[in-house]
């Protein structure tokens, strides 16, 4: 049994003492909160997470192959936990109030056109060390389709500029190698030459893209950075999600004829049906072009 944050232990104790949950139910809640804790960027990040962070967490579980029933149970657990944090004054809000039950996406994921992606990637001022880092991160995200959590935790040991690949360790210690392409490789090298040492300021870090404090950047921070550059690029940030470049990566590959199983492998999807949503994106794009340009569209 893993040691959890004292606040989480307090919550579990409260469930047992005040709500009389069975041992099996209590054990299930503990397992869910252990999984949730492993996902957190810092041990007490649950005190500052927002609605989008939690929706991203639940979405990632579906991508990793967890059943909808498992994710629904996780949501139930999180709702109880964050209600506890609110009533015990650990938080001033309950971010689970607007969360919806997780489902396999029947709708098309939000994506950007290739022109919008280019505008977004061109937004950072690469003369500034922080924005040079962001430029390299955005380029790598679009080049590889990494999840934001995989990007911010990417270690030096899992990046090979010489071979032009990143090594990603996913659920169940499953590994995948993803090519990074010349453009992303170039900007990572530029960041290593002119930005990383300045950000670290004599500190040591194993992550490729450290924060200004020399630590691993949080998902929330990078999401705010994406929204900042979206505004500069003239893109409505309200229409974005943290995985917008991951979706663009997959959509644009499919649009250009990439084999669906290759896209599945690159994204790290355990189930091909999860990847198949991007074929619908491509079909929707073709239908839109047909309506726009065909004489009888």
Q: Are strands 159-160 and 175-179 parallel, antiparallel or unpaired?
A: unpaired
Catalytic site residue 224?
no
| pLDDT tens by residue, 134-187 | 999 999 988 888 888 889 999 999 999 998 888 887 656 677 888 888 999 999
Catalytic site residue 147?
yes
Number of domains in the chain: 2
Q: Which long-range contacts (CB under 8 A, 24 or more apart) does 98-104 make?
A: 98/51, 99/51, 99/54, 99/55, 99/58, 99/75, 101/71, 101/72, 101/75, 102/58, 102/59, 102/61, 102/62, 102/68, 102/71, 102/72, 102/75, 103/62, 103/68, 104/62, 104/68, 104/273, 104/274
288 within some domain: no
Chain position carrying tokens 């229409």: 239
What is d(CA 32, CA 4) in angstroms, rounded to the nearest whole number? 11
The residue annotated as part of the active site, out of 44, 171, 193, 213, is 171
| pLDDT tens by residue, 53-92 | 888 888 777 767 677 778 788 888 999 999 999 999 999 9
Contact criterion met (CB below 8 Å) for 46 and 40: yes
- Answer yes or no: do 50 and 140 share one domain: no
Catalytic site residue 29?
no
Q: Is the dihedral of CA 139, 145, 149, 154 positive or negative?
A: negative
- Answer yes or no: do 120 and 83 share one domain: no
**The pTM is what?**
0.61
Catalytic site residue 278?
yes
Residue 119 belongs to domain spanning:
114-242
- Answer yes or no: do 118 and 237 share one domain: yes
- Answer yes or no: do 68 and 120 share one domain: no
The residue annotated as part of the active site, out of 133, 147, 219, 247, is 147
- Answer yes or no: do 236 and 183 share one domain: yes
| β-strand partners of 235 | none
- Answer yes or no: do 74 and 149 share one domain: no
Q: Does residue 20 have a pLDDT over 80?
A: no
Transcribe 136-156 into DSSP letters.
HHHHHHHHH---HHHHHT-BG
The residue annotated as part of the active site, out of 135, 243, 247, 252, is 243
The residue annotated as part of the active site, out of 135, 219, 246, 252, is 246
Residue 207 phi/psi, 5-degree rounding, is -85, 150
Is 93 or 258 the better-scoring residue by pLDDT?
A: 93
CA distances from 63 to 68, 147, 171, 240 (A): 11, 10, 10, 18
Mean pLDDT across 263-284: 54
The residue annotated as part of the active site, out of 133, 135, 219, 269, is 269
What is d(CA 135, CA 137) in angstroms, rounded to the nearest whole number? 5
- Answer yes or no: do 216 and 136 share one domain: yes
Catalytic site residue 269?
yes
Q: What is the CATH number of the domain that holds 203?
A: 1.10.443.10
Q: What is the CATH number of the domain that holds 30?
A: 1.10.150.130
282 within some domain: no
pLDDT-above-70 percentage for the chain: 77
Q: Does residue 34 have a pLDDT over 70?
A: yes
CA distances from 110 to 29, 45, 93, 266, 290 (A): 32, 27, 27, 19, 21
Catalytic site residue 212?
no
Q: If you ran DSSP here, which 8-state letter would residue 50 be given? A: -
107 within some domain: no
Average pLDDT, the chain: 80
The most confident of the ranges 42-51, 53-62, 189-198 is 189-198
- Answer yes or no: do 123 and 32 share one domain: no
Contact criterion met (CB below 8 Å) for 268 and 174: yes
Mean pLDDT across 112-127: 90
Q: If you ran DSSP here, which 8-state letter would residue 35 be given? A: H
Tokens of 216: 């691993």
């Amino acid at each position: 049994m893993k040691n959890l944050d004292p606040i989480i232990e307090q919550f579990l104790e409260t469930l047992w003492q005040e709500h009389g949950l069975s041992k099996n139910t209590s054990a299930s809640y503990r397992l869910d909160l252990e999984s949730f804790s492993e996902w957190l960027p810092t041990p007490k990040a649950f005190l500052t997470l927002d609605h989008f962070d939690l929706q991203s967490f639940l979405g990632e579980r579906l991508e990793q192959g967890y059943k909808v029933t498992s994710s629904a149970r996780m949501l139930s657990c999180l709702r109880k936990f964050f209600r506890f944090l609110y009533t015990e004054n650990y938080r001033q809000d309950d971010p689970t109030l607007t969360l919806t039950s997780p489902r396999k996406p029947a709708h098309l994921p939000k994506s950007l056109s290739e022109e919008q992606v280019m505008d977004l990637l061109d937004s950072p001022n690469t003369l500034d060390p922080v924005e040079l880092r962001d430029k390299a991160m955005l380029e790598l995200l679009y080049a590889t389709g990494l999840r934001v959590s995989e990007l911010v935790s990417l270690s030096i040991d899992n990046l090979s500029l010489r071979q032009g690949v990143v090594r990603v360790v996913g659920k169940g210690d499953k590994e995948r190698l993803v090519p990074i392409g010349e453009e992303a490789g170039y900007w990572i090298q530029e960041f290593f030459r002119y930005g990383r040492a300045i950000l670290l300021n004599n500190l040591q870090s194993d992550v490729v893209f450290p924060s200004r404090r020399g630590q691993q950047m949080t998902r929330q921070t990078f999401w705010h950075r994406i929204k900042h550059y979206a505004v500069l690029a003239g893109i409505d940030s309200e229409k974005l999600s943290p995985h917008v470049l991951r979706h663009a990566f997959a959509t644009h590959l499919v649009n250009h004829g990439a084999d669906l199983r290759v896209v599945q492998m690159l994204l790290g999807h355990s189930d091909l049906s999860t990847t198949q949503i991007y074929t619908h994106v491509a079909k929707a794009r073709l239908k839109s072009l047909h309506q726009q340009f065909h004489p009888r569209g």
